[in-house]
Structure formats: C-alpha cells, structure tokens
Amino acid sequence: MAPSPPTPLATASSNPPQVVRGMRASPLSENSMRVIDAHVHTLDNYQPMAPFEDMGRVDRLLHWMDDAGVDKAVMLPVVADFSPENNEECANWARNHPERLAAMTDVPLHEANAAERVRAAREQYGAVAISCYPSTPDLAWLTEPDAEPLWDAFKESGLPCNLHVTQPNYSHIITAARQHPEVPILLNHFALPKGGGVTSDDPSYGGLASAADVPNLFVKVSAFYAAADTPWDPACPVPLAYLQRLLGIFGAARLLFGTDWPPAGKHLSYRQGVEIVRTYAELSPQDRDLILSGTAARLFGI
C-alpha cells in the first residue's frame, strides 16, 4: 500500500533540550520536541574517513545522539569494497536498537534485479526506504517505459525512493515523481545545489521549484557542510539561505533534517550539526518540528 499524502503534524517548542552526558537523551522531557536524524552512515571501518575510519561505529553514533538529544536516526548503508555487508549490518543494528535506529536498504536501481530487491527489502532488512547513489550521470532512464517494473516494485513495497542527484537530473526526477505519484521520492543534501551551480538566491532553485506542486517529492536538508562556504561554522549563512529557499518552495512538510554523520564530523561536532536547525535556523516552532522529526516520522513510519 502506498504511503498516505502529507498531513499536518503537531507543533513543538524550538528551545534546545538539556542533555545529561552518559544518559539516554529525552527531548520530550524538556520541551516535547522530537528529533530524527534522517541521514547517517553507520559502519566500523569507513575508509574515506581515514585516519578516523571508526567515527561511524554504532556505539559512537548512539553516544552522540544521546549527547545531542536525538531520538532516532535513519541509517543509509554504504555498500562498497570496504563494507560489502553494510546492508545486513545496518539492518541488524536497527533490530538491536529499534527505538533509536532505522535502516534504509541500498539498491543499485540500474541493475537487472533491482525491482526484486526493492520488493524484498522490507521483509529481508526491515527497510524504511530504498537508498541509491546512481552510477549513471543521466537519469532520464528512470522516466522511460523500461523502468516501469522498478516503479511498480516501489508501489507494491510502499517504500520511499531516496536518491543522490544534482541539478542536471532535477528535470528527470521531477518527471518520474509526476509519473508515479504513489511513490515518495527523497533527495539528499539540499538536492546538492552547489554541484550544479545553483545559488541560494535563485528563485527557481535550478529548476527544482517546478516541483512545488508535486507532493511526493521531498528534500533532505542534510550535509550542511557541503552547502557551506565555511563548513566549520554552524551559523554559516549559505546553507541556512538554501534552507529558507527550499522552505519557501516546498514547505516544512516536505523537508527532513539530517546530519550526514560521520562525514560531517570532519567539520563540526554531531551536536553542532543538530543545532544548525534546532537553534540557528530562523523557523517557526511548527516548521522546526516538521523538519526535525515530523516529516521523517510520517514518511518512514517511525
């Protein structure tokens, strides 16, 4: 069954929670604000982070979540030569910590068995979404008839499709979202505007604004460092300006917060990554609550 369309969610205060180090953080005990980090990577040996390959360990993630008052995190597996079993690992961590962690399943959507893997992901891995970092530079194929079995699998599974795309593929993703309104499509990292030369003062957002009326297209405001001119500064105005531009286009009910931990740890602490939205962004309490947790809770069923 396909997920229901967005509905209004409850509001919450915007004051950051007080956290006692070493104890399970409970934002609800302070101000009723729930926080879901919708983009983390969890693995024991994240080689691109060398010489800090173990920053993505699950025990470290849980510690930093406690420290920052984050209730739950959604893991995006990194299936690579150095971590070939990360789908299975993330699924197991989600099963071991169901109140704190949920997992997507990584599926290369261009492969011949992709539709079969999408259908199996919820039962096999407990997946809350399918993650794909496309290996092809042109994603027009997602809009063509040959891709219909893949989209049918998404419809049958009820799982959102989480994609990593830049501006040259915005039009293809928007077309695919219009063709398949039952499938929520989610774009990582502000839709990677800098990679396509999109500036925060562009009212069209490189053409993405044409999807304002496409209710099944969502954007993660994640990896703030990748949108920043000064990635070491949690108050850097550039990603905050991108956030405001996306908010004006899509509304908070179609935006989700994520840190992109541990890559973000090269620039900021985990807590600082959370406070970018919880403290520095100029948001109404209602919008802050939706971006920090409400949209993710509804989209992923968590």
- CB of 78 closer than 8 Å to CB of 113: no
Does 238 have pLDDT greater than 50? yes
What is the band of 62 on the pLDDT scale with cuts at 50, 70, 90? very high
Return the closest-CA partner of residue 105 out of 79, 80, 137. 79
pLDDT in tens, 159-198: 999 999 999 999 999 999 999 999 999 999 999 999 889 9
Percent of the chain with pLDDT over 90: 87
pLDDT in tens, 68-115: 999 999 999 999 999 999 999 999 999 999 999 999 999 999 999 999
Domains and CATH numbers, the chain: 29-300 (3.20.20.140)
Does 23 have pLDDT greater than 90? no
pTM: 0.89
Which pLDDT belongs to residue 110?
96
**Mean pLDDT, residues 249-277:** 98
pLDDT in tens, 207-228: 999 999 999 999 999 999 999 9
Which of the two residues, 146 and 10, has the higher pLDDT score?
146
Does 277 have pLDDT greater than 70? yes
